[in-house]
Amino acid sequence: MSLKKRDHFNKATGRFQNCYSHDEGKRTQKNTNPNWKNILSAMFQSVMGVKDRVPTKPLPYRNLKGFKESFRQKDQFIWLGHSSVTLSLEGKVIYIDPVFLSTASPFSAFCRRFSAFPYQLDDLPRADYILLSHNHHDHYDEKVLSFYAKDPEIKFIVPDQLGNYLEKQGVKRDQILELDWWESFKDSGITFYSTPALHSSGRWLNDQNKSLWGSWVIETSENRIFFSGDSGYASHFKEIGDSFGSFDYVFLENGQYDKRWPLAHMFPEQSLKAFEDLKGKFYIPIHWGVFALAYHAWYEPVERTYRLFDLKGWKDRFYLCPELGQVVAMDKKNQEIRPWWISAE
């Protein structure tokens, strides 16, 4: 796609930028990254330590033995930790932000997983589509993408200009589909819509915002799904909700927030506000449970949203927080939630 003039692309700098208001329509912040003062403050806090920032024991993953062959037989999903979600829709398997590496940093000593990923890639269902939200290290796993690049049948659906990175992992250009915000692609009864987010991109200091970031809407005849990727709270959630009407399953960022980067990630209260804006039925928190990228307790994001959700008293909206590796049917039926993270504290 050629880069045309638009609100979220700065032609003079050749970089993408945010264009949605984050303060009830009053302000638009083009850059969501923390400044150096806040970065140094966070580094100092890391040295001092934070209570319960990391679990004292490995979090449990479900045994997925035998699901490789049966997974695509009906609509269902698996949360594999952080923002990694695997969907089965229309008999096709979709991996969203598959990150199974040991660290969420270019430096192996930092931001390490709470525990090793317990599955082998060959033991997981074969992918038909790989969907990426952006190229930050906790969403873009070079080793995993290089593994999937070996299969010429997989389609990689990504935000604008992210294909340049995929080619370095060995993905062929004719396997890559780049979409700008509000563009769509339909294949095998599934429609993928690229939608906005308030965030940023870049893997090093010299490539900041060179590729687009975003959220995704995935639609079939049976289900409409929203995946937030990374995003601060802003007016785009209401625009997306108004554009699509409602969502059956909403995978929303809920974790790694901090007052020093309030626009890059949502606080729990904002995550539920976004869920309301999107007119969602099932709320599934993501962006937690694998890495400690902020300074709250590892379980705090879900504990806060779980309690806030209960206080809302919603009768037609449901909190769905599966265990790691749990296969969940997407049949629109409410499922009993066991607050498993409490026993894992």
> Distance of CA 166 to CAs 130, 142, 212, 304, Å?
11, 8, 13, 36
State residue 336's pLDDT score. Answer: 76
Digit-by-digit pLDDT tens for the chain (345 residues) are 333 446 899 999 999 999 887 765 445 555 666 665 666 666 656 655 677 999 999 999 999 888 888 999 999 999 999 999 999 999 999 999 999 987 776 765 567 899 999 999 999 999 999 999 999 999 999 999 999 999 999 999 999 999 999 999 999 999 999 999 999 999 999 999 999 999 999 999 899 999 999 999 999 999 999 999 999 999 999 999 999 999 999 999 999 999 988 899 999 999 999 999 999 999 999 999 999 999 999 999 999 999 999 999 998 999 999 999 999 999 988 887 789 998 776
Residues contacting 108, CB < 8 A, separation 6+: 102
State residue 312's pLDDT score. Answer: 93
Fold of 50-344: Metallo-beta-lactamase; Chain A (3.60.15)
> Contact at 8 Å (CB) between 21 and 234?
yes
Each as own residue / partner, the long-range contacts of residues 161-168 (CB below 8 Å, 24 or more positions apart, any chain) are 161/3, 161/16, 161/210, 161/211, 161/212, 162/132, 162/134, 162/135, 162/201, 162/211, 162/212, 164/211, 165/135, 165/140, 165/203, 165/211
State residue 90's pLDDT score. Answer: 97
State residue 4's pLDDT score. Answer: 40
State residue 46's pLDDT score. Answer: 65
Separation CA 97–CA 127 (nearest Å)? 12
The candidate with the shortest Cα–Cα distance to 261, out of 286, 237, 231, 241, is 231
> Distance of CA 79 to CAs 3, 87, 145, 229, Å?
34, 9, 18, 14
How many beta carbons lie within 10 A of that of residue 325, not counting itself?
18
> Contact at 8 Å (CB) between 76 and 335?
no
State residue 343's pLDDT score. Answer: 76
> Contact at 8 Å (CB) between 109 and 66?
no
Q: What is the pTM of this model?
A: 0.93
State residue 177's pLDDT score. Answer: 98
